[in-house]
């Protein structure tokens, strides 16, 4: 009997020690901070100066995870059957918040820790938000409510990506910025739709929808693409090498614009159902087309200025 009394405490102590070491390893891995919560707030500070905070509302079936390493900062919050995960490394900041059957994920690497950098993801009411930022000065912001899906990815120094769905109606917003570009995809007033913006090498792209489809692409310093799709319309704009495009489809129609070359511009608009308007301008040329006004083509530098529309053609 004495043998049993001696052995069991030894085994018990060994198990406790093993569990404690496992937990310590998880918290101190890489000198960082690791926080996971399914009930209440968990906060930790790593030996490398990293901090984390994870807060999950008790008895709601939610999980909040925050992991930091390399003097980074993370925060996560989850409630009502949701999951929020934030991770950051190498002097970065990430925040994730999810509520009501939603999922939010934020990941940041090498961004710097300021009010204007890092990754932030917010999802509410059966939505999904994913934000990823990598590189000094980068920022990625993704938010969605009421069944929406948003994804923002920023890669390379000073790149900025925003995907926003702040109103009901769902939809999909996707932004991708690289090489210092700025990309914004948004569904600001509900109605759903699909907004997709891609910016490269200091370009600026904005895709906005209200019940339509919009795709904006910009590449190169000085390039800018502004694209709007509403009421079932489909709009696409591509700008490169310092050119600009302004494309809008406000009915069940199709509008496409492509411009290249410094100072070049393509303006496209359709507002009548089943209309198709296409505009192209190269080498700094200018062209404008719509389904309500005559086309305008002004070629330059041996480039092309071309319009195809219900109101006529040129170029």
Question: What is the full DSSP assignment across 82-113?
Answer: -EEEEEEESS-EEEEEEESS-EEEEEEES--S
Q: How far is CA 184 from CA 79, 181, 242, in A?
A: 28, 10, 18
Residue 125 has pLDDT above 80, yes or no: yes
98 in the same domain as 13: no
Residue 11 has pLDDT above 90, yes or no: no
Backbone φ and ψ of 29, nearest 5°: -55, 120
CA distance 20 to 42: 17
CA distance 97 to 149: 14
59 in the same domain as 18: no
Lowest mean pLDDT among 20-34, 212-226, 254-268, 269-283: 20-34
Predicted local confidence at residue 190, as pLDDT = 82
Predicted local confidence at residue 31, as pLDDT = 85
User: Which residues is 103 bridged to in the sheet?
Assistant: 83, 128
310 in the same domain as 266: yes
pLDDT tens digit sequence for 157-215: 999 999 999 998 899 999 999 999 999 999 999 889 999 999 999 999 999 999 999 99
78 in the same domain as 48: yes
Give the residue-averaged pLDDT of 97-120: 97
> Domain of 17?
1-30
Residue 111 has pLDDT above 60, yes or no: yes
Residue 30 has pLDDT above 50, yes or no: yes
Asked if residue 168 belongs to a domain, the reply is no
Q: How far is CA 96 from CA 47, 56, 163, in A?
A: 23, 12, 14
138 in the same domain as 243: no
Q: Is residue 120 within a helix (H) or strand (E), and if so which, with residue range?
A: strand 118-124
75 in the same domain as 25: no
Residue 313 has pLDDT above 50, yes or no: yes
36 in the same domain as 25: no
Token pair listed for 63: 């999980």
Predicted local confidence at residue 191, as pLDDT = 85
49 in the same domain as 9: no
2 in the same domain as 111: no
Asked if residue 255 belongs to a domain, the reply is yes
Asked if residue 64 belongs to a domain, the reply is yes
18 in the same domain as 75: no
pLDDT tens digit sequence for 46-95: 999 999 999 999 888 999 999 999 999 999 999 999 999 999 999 999 99
**Of the residues 94, 120, 154, which one is the last residue of a structural domain?**
154
- Residue in 34, 85, 93, 33 with CA at minimum distance from that of residue 62: 85
Q: Is residue 21 within a helix (H) or strand (E), and if so which, with residue range?
A: helix 2-28
46 in the same domain as 147: yes
Q: How far is CA 273 from CA 227, 234, 247, in A?
A: 18, 11, 16
* Rg of the chain taking only CA atoms, in angstroms: 25
> What's the number of domains the chain is made of?
3
Asked if residue 193 belongs to a domain, the reply is no
Asked if residue 181 belongs to a domain, the reply is no
Asked if residue 179 belongs to a domain, the reply is no
pTM of the model as a whole? 0.89
Predicted local confidence at residue 13, as pLDDT = 30
312 in the same domain as 206: yes
Asked if residue 51 belongs to a domain, the reply is yes
| Contact in structure between 15 and 37 (CB atoms under 8 Å) | no
Asked if residue 176 belongs to a domain, the reply is no
Residue 121 has pLDDT above 60, yes or no: yes
């Amino acid at each position: 009997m004495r043998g049993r009394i001696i052995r069991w405490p030894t085994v018990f102590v060994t198990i406790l020690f093993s569990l404690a070491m496992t937990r310590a390893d998880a918290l101190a891995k890489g000198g960082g901070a690791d926080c996971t919560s399914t009930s209440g707030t968990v906060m930790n500070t790593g030996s490398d100066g990293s901090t984390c905070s994870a807060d999950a509302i008790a008895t709601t079936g939610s999980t909040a995870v925050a992991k930091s390493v390399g003097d980074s900062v993370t925060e996560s919050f989850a409630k009502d059957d949701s999951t929020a995960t934030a991770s950051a490394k190498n002097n970065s900041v990430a925040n994730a918040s999810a509520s009501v059957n939603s999922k939010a994920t934020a990941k940041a690497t090498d961004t710097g820790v300021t009010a204007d950098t890092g990754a932030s993801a917010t999802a509410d009411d059966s939505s999904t938000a994913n934000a990823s930022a990598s590189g000094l000065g980068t920022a990625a912001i993704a938010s969605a409510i009421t069944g929406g899906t948003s994804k923002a990815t920023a890669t390379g120094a000073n790149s900025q990506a925003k995907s926003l769905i702040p109103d009901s109606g769902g939809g999909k917003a996707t932004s991708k910025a690289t090489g210092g570009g700025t990309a914004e995809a948004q569904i600001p007033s509900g109605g759903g739709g699909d907004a997709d913006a891609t910016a490269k090498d200091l370009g600026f792209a904005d895709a906005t929808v209200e019940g339509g489809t919009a795709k904006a692409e910009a590449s190169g310093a000085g390039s800018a693409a502004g694209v709007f799709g509403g009421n079932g319309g489909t709009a696409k704009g591509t700008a490169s090498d310092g050119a600009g495009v302004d494309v809008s489809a406000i009915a069940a129609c199709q509008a496409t614009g492509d411009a290249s070359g410094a100072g070049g511009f393509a303006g496209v608009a359709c507002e009548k159902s089943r209309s198709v308007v296409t505009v192209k301008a190269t080498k700094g040329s200018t062209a404008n087309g719509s389904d309500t006004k005559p086309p305008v083509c002004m070629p330059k530098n041996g480039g092309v200025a071309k319009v195809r529309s219900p109101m006529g053609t040129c170029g």
